[in-house]
């Protein structure tokens, strides 16, 4: 029986509520008796029955388990596991593809005003939009890491949980990954593994790597896979980092080059440079000028040095970015910076050191709108401005969005 809408919610309680605006994390905002509730599996404007899943000081979390008044943007989820209490990997399978793009753009705008300190007019002037990549919303993910439960079954995790949901197929996985016998129905195929990573590279390689206590062991396919991006061939460990959407690498390189417009003779930094994707693209534009790549991961450093060996003007610095800047392992002046930090963002010390080096422009590649917005606030506080912003749907069916922005001195 549905409880009346009121404050003082209890876990597992079901309440009727009207859903308001989208929020970060794949949620929408609602209120019950003045209490904020973040609701998954819902859409703005819907009237739903929601089951409370978590209680916190000042807010609750809930799943929409019955849709009383559906949105025109609602569709049936194609995957039977993308539902309350099941797999937490896909946040937006109940949303039309076009509305998913609008959802993500709304989250970006909200974070730039709330955390980034920009005015509504400033955000409107950026014309924030999220662009779809080719290939559609299913079958795109070229790297899937499955968790393994205590019975040795591979699956995916529940939302905000370490509980493994055994599955028989992941519909957003690349077709070559879906064909792998990793998710054997009813089988306990991974008794000695904690996780299983599957890869289908743009170079045509398909590999499986098992992890036990964090140590990768190749199971099938090549230990090193081939990728094709930015007009170059790349080789890296199957367990190494690469963008998971087949079109992502070229999309991001194109956006970075368009925004930065590198010129011959300009020096550049590629911070958090990984295997060297942006460094290679910059080197192709700046001629004999030096490009410095900074990366802390040993596998990333090794991949960069191997893949960029034909580019003698690219220097690879093995260090944490904040350490390399603060201890002057890389020094200004510099003309261009590509900043591609992890989900936690670059942080104020890194931003301040970049500003102090005096580049004419920074291309910031971000995978988390909140962290990006906080770093934008630091840039603007240092006298810079956010001059351009593009969003890309590198992760269809999920709440994640990738941003590429141009930051320049305000003067």
Catalytic residue among 28, 79, 90, 367: 367
Residue 56: partners with Cβ closer than 8 Å, 6 or more residues away = none
Number of Cβ within 10 Å of residue 317's Cβ equals 20
The SS3 assignment for 96 reads coil
Q: Are 91 and 40 in contact (CB under 8 A)?
A: yes
Rounded (5°) CA angle 299-302-306: 140
End-to-end CA distance of the chain: 62
Alpha carbon distance 39, 140 (integer Å): 27
Radius of gyration of the chain (CA): 22
Q: Are 201 and 142 in contact (CB under 8 A)?
A: yes
Active site residue 367: yes
Cis check for the bond before 183: say yes or no (omega within 30 of 0): no
DSSP label of 133: P
Strands in 291-295's sheet, in edge-to-edge order, are: 130-132, 384-393, 402-409, 361-366, 336-339, 268-271, 291-295, 314-318
CB neighbour burial string for 80-90, b if at least 16 within 10 angstroms, e if fewer = ebbebbbbbbb
Rounded to whole angstroms, what are the CA distances from 225 to 34, 143, 220? 53, 12, 12
Just list the catalytic residues.
367
């Amino acid at each position: 029986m549905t409880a009346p809408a009121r404050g003082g919610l209890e876990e597992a309680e079901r309440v009727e509520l009207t859903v308001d605006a989208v929020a970060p994390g794949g949620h929408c905002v609602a209120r019950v008796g003045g209490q904020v509730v973040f609701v998954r599996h819902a859409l703005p404007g819907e009237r739903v029955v929601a089951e409370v899943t978590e209680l916190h000081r000042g807010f609750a979390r809930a799943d929409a388990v019955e849709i009383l008044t559906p949105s025109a943007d609602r569709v049936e989820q194609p995957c039977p596991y993308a539902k309350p209490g099941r797999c937490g990997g896909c946040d937006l399978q109940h949303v039309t593809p076009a509305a998913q793009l609008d959802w993500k753009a709304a989250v970006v705008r909200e974070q730039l005003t709330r955390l980034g300190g920009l005015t509504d007019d400033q955000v409107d002037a950026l014309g924030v939009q999220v662009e779809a990549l080719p290939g559609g919303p299913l079958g795109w993910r070229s790297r899937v890491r499955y968790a393994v439960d205590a019975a040795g079954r591979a699956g995916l995790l529940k939302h905000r949980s370490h509980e493994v949901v055994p599955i028989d197929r992941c519909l957003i996985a690349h077709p070559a990954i879906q064909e792998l016998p990793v998710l054997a129905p009813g089988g306990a195929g991974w008794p000695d593994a904690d996780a299983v990573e599957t890869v289908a590279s743009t170079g045509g390689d398909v590999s499986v790597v098992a992890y036990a206590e964090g140590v990768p062991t190749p199971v099938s396919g090549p230990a090193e896979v081939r990728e094709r991006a930015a007009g170059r061939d790349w080789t890296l460990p199957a367990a190494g980092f690469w963008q998971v959407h087949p079109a992502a690498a070229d999309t991001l390189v194109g956006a970075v080059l368009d925004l930065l417009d590198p010129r011959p003779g300009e020096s550049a930094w590629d911070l958090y440079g990984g295997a060297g994707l942006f460094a290679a693209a910059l080197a192709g534009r700046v001629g004999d000028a030096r490009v410095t790549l900074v990366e802390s991961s040993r596998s990333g450093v090794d991949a960069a040095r191997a893949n960029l060996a034909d580019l003698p003007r690219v220097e690879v610095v093995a260090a944490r970015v904040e350490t390399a800047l603060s201890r002057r392992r890389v020094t200004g002046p510099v003309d261009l910076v590509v900043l591609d930090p992890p989900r936690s963002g670059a942080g104020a010390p890194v931003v301040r050191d970049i500003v102090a080096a005096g580049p004419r422009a920074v291309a910031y590649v971000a995978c988390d709108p909140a962290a990006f917005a906080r770093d934008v606030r630091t840039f603007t506080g240092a006298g810079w401005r956010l001059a351009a912003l593009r969003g890309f749907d590198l992760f269809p069916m999920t709440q994640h969005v990738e941003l590429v922005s141009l930051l320049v001195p305000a003067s």
